[in-house]
Amino acid sequence: MKLGVICEGPTDFHVLKHTIQAYFNPIQIRDIQPPLDAQQTNIAIDAWGGWEKVSEYLKSEDFLILLENMDYVVIQIDTDVCEHRNFNVSPISLANTDHNLFYELIKQKLLEWIDSAGVPLNKKKAKRFIHYQKLKKRKISTEYIHKIIFAISVHSLECWLLAYHDTRPRSCKITGCENALSRYFKTVRKTINKNAKDYIQHSLDFKDARNHPRICAKSESFKIFVDQLAAISA
């Protein structure tokens, strides 16, 4: 199986990679956006990460090519900037009162970006697409929805790490997770910095699906993500 990952950065990529590996073996997991260096620890030279680059990639012809060549594509995005004018999903406070509706609004925004890509205008390039004639009449997201796995992290992927590592009883935390995670590690005499090495180390347990229920109990967005993976692997 070949799976491409579109995410905000290298730290996100490795948490996603470990989570995906819990459900599929063997599997080829490719860093698509942002492209990473040979060690997969930093963004490649002349490349950029961030949520706006996720949006840009989903609207590109490259994404259409990716959908044709991959069995599945994981799309990850944090929702902490959803009220930004270029994201335009509000209010962010909706996640506190109706998580499912908030999640669905974010998902629809991703689909909107995908559908805005249109189809290739260059006829030679268009020949690469098996379903080109269908794409002219149907939404891209409709044609390829069976290949897309959503990893919408509310409001940041650090909330997933926090839900796993901080075992103290508490309600699901969706804001300030990066700082809360750092503070928690200090209480247990550990550290976590915003780099691939630390995120690889602290997400190794995500490779075992038996560790996922404790995260799902505190993070609805993580549960939605792994439920998709479990359904495909069943």
Distance between alpha carbon 223 and the CA centroid of its chain, in Å? 13
Q: Alpha carbon of 180 to those of 79, 128, 193, 216, 234: distances in Å?
A: 17, 47, 12, 18, 35
Per DSSP, 135 falls in state: H
* Phi, psi of 31, deg, nearest 5: -80, 110
Residue 126: its pLDDT value, please? Answer: 52
Distance between alpha carbon 206 and the CA centroid of its chain, in Å? 15
pLDDT tens, position by position, 150-188: 999 999 999 999 999 998 877 679 999 999 999 999 999
**C-alpha closest to that of 138 among 129, 128, 149:** 129
Per DSSP, 35 falls in state: -
Strand 2-6 with 28-33, pairing? parallel
pLDDT tens, position by position, 8-58: 999 999 999 999 999 999 999 999 999 999 999 999 999 999 999 999 999
**C-alpha closest to that of 76 among 216, 229, 179:** 229
Per-state percent for the chain, helix, strand, coil, to nearest 5: 50, 10, 40
Provide the domain count of the chain. Answer: 1
Beta strands in 80-200 (DSSP E): 148-153
Domain extent, residue 8, equals 2-233
